[in-house]
Amino acid sequence: MNIEQIVKEVLSEIQEKPNKNKSYTHEYRTKHLVYEKKKQVGVDQPKDYEYINEVIHKTPARIGIGRSGTRMKTKNYLDFRVDHAAAQDAVFKDVPDSVLESMNLPILHSRASSMNEYLMNLDVGRRLNEESVQWLQDHMETGKQVQIIISDGLSSTGVEETIPDLLPSLVQGLKSKNINMNDPIFIRKSRVWIQDEVASLVDCDLVISLIGERPGLATAKSISAYLIYKPTQDSVEADRTVFSNIHDGGVPPAEAGAYLAEIIEKMLQLKASGVKFSQLQ
C-alpha cells in the first residue's frame, strides 16, 4: 500500500471536523469578544496592489502591513498580540484529558513537577517519574519493533490539533507493512531524549517521538517527529532523524503519518537512523 492510498483511507475514516471558519452566531457574539484575523494589504496606495495581495496570502510572514508613522497599524498590532497569546497558551496549557482519552492514549509523566521546572531544568523532562516507569513495566509488552511516543513538549496546541489526524495514518501505515508495535503512549512535560529510557524499558527496535514544537508567531500548532534506532545511554543527536513543520499550514498531518511509516520501514531494514541512516540510503 503506497502513501497516497494510506492517506486516502485514513482521511475517509477520520470524522469530519467542525468548520473552524464558520460564522459566529449573534448569541455567541453577545456573550464573547470576538476578534477575527483576516489578511489584507495594509500599505497605503501601493504601486501594485494585486501583487502584494497575492504574496501576503502565500506566506505566514508579516509583510505588506503598512505603518502609521513609525509604528505598525492597530489591526496588525492586535494580530501580533493574538499570535503571541496563542504561542504562550501552547507552551503553558496542558493537552485536555478528553483529547487523549478520545485517542485511547495512556497518560504518563516525566520527572518535571511543574511547567516552570520543565522549562528551567532540561534533565527532568528527559526521564520518567517512578510511577510511569512502573506502569510501563507492568502494562507494555517487550520486544516489539516500534514504540510511538506523543509528547506535549513546547506546544500542547500542536498535539491537540495535529495528532488526531497523524497518529491513525502512522499506525495504519505500519500495520500495512506488517511492522509490529506497542500501543502508543502520551508523556506530559517530556523532551525528546525521554525516548531513550522508554526504548530501554520496552526493548523495542525503534522509537518515534511526536512532540510539540516551540511555537512562533506564524503558528503554534506544529509538531516534529524524532526517530532513533536502538538508542543507548551513549546516543547523541546525530543518531536521531527529525522531521519538522508538521501542521495544517506545513506538512499535512495525515500525509506526514504515511510518510513516517515509509521511513520507519527503511530504518528497520537498514538498522540505522540519524546520520548513519542518511549515509546508507
CA 167, CA 256: separation in Å to the nearest integer? 9
Identify whether the C-beta of residue 219 lies closer than 8 Å to the C-beta of residue 155: no
* 3 state DSSP class of 112: coil
The count of residues in the chain is 281
Q: What backbone torsions phi and psi does residue 59 show, to the nearest 5 degrees?
A: -145, 145
Helices (H) and strands (E) in the chain, counts: 11, 6
CA 32, CA 226: separation in Å to the nearest integer? 40
CA 167, CA 18: separation in Å to the nearest integer? 19
CA 279, CA 281: separation in Å to the nearest integer? 6
Handedness of CA 34, 38, 43, 49 (dihedral sign): negative
Query: Which residues belong to the annotated binding site for adenosylcob(III)alamin?
Result: 192, 213
* 3 state DSSP class of 68: strand
Identify whether the C-beta of residue 175 lies closer than 8 Å to the C-beta of residue 165: no
**Alpha-carbon dihedral angle through residues 118, 123, 126, 130, given to the nearest 10 degrees:** -90
- Which three three-digit cell numbers place residue 2? 503506497
Amino acid at 205: D
Q: 511547567: which residue's cell? A: 115
Alpha helices in 71-192 (DSSP H): 74-92, 97-102, 115-120, 130-139, 156-176
